Amino acid sequence: MSRRNFSRRGTTLVEVLVAVALLTIIFLFITSDLLQASQAENVSATRTESMDAANYLLGVMRTDQNFWSGAGGNDWAAPGLGNDPCGNAFPPYTDKITAPTWHPAPACTPNGSNPGIFPDMVGQQTFQYMWNAQNQGGSPTTAQLTVWVQVEEGGRVNVYELNSTKGNIHVQPTNTPVLPTPTPKVTTPPPTHTPTPPPPSHTPTPPPTPTPSGHGSPTPPPTHTPTPPPTHTPTPPPTPTPQPSGTFE
């Protein structure tokens, strides 16, 4: 009996060890997948922030009020933009990718009067940029803008490039404008106001005479002539009968 019990106990211990090993392997696979998914999410978020930073820097160049002013028709070598929201001085628009000179990209959290910008990139080991402006095709009124952003993503450093153009819409005219001769203003007297006569008094319209039914024109009713009273003719008195005279027997 003791040997049988020992054999059963040994089998149970092996089963427990196998189950623990299987659970460990499954846990490692799940953890690895979660880590890869989290890393991919971080890379995607960093890439989005990098593109937003490139668009922001390109917008700074496009909204530069003195872009076409200065010596040589532009101020690209000394833009005079001041500092970015994080206190870093903006460099000139003269960087070249063939001879890179990277500048720290703006990334700071809000603090007091500082609104902050790209706070998710704070602490990023590599987050830098360069920019360049040059005449496009030799045209003095069109410039080609280029921005490069360098950032570390998933253990490697990637560089993003964004291009755009900017035109000089405030070209000074070459001819001297001629002002038109002013025309004297003629004052027209106001028209005399003639009062409008009151409307005529309303005369009621007599009602229409009814027309009897029938064809043709209506026959006027006959005029009633009164009958004269009969003339009274007096009756002549009767002729008296002669009385016989003599003696009657």
- Domain locations along the chain: 2-167
Whole-number pLDDT of residue 249: 39
The answer on pLDDT for 247 being more than 50 is no
Residue 127 host element (H or E): strand 127-135
Please tell me the distance from the alpha carbon of residue 225 to that of residue 91, in angstroms, as a whole number: 131
| Cα separation, 150 vs 127, whole angstroms | 6
Q: How far is Cα 106 from Cα 128, in angstroms, rounded to an integer? A: 8
Burial class, 130, CB count within 10 angstroms (exposed 0-12 / middle 13-18 / buried 19+): buried
Name the more confident of 4 and 121.
121
Considering only residues 232 and 112, tell me which one the structure prediction assigns the higher pLDDT: 112
pLDDT beyond 70 at 236 = no
Q: Say if residue 228's pLDDT is above 70.
A: no
Whether the Cβ atoms of residue 31 and residue 39 lie closer than 8 Å to each other: no
3-state DSSP assignment of residue 42? helix
Residue 52 has pLDDT above 60, yes or no: yes
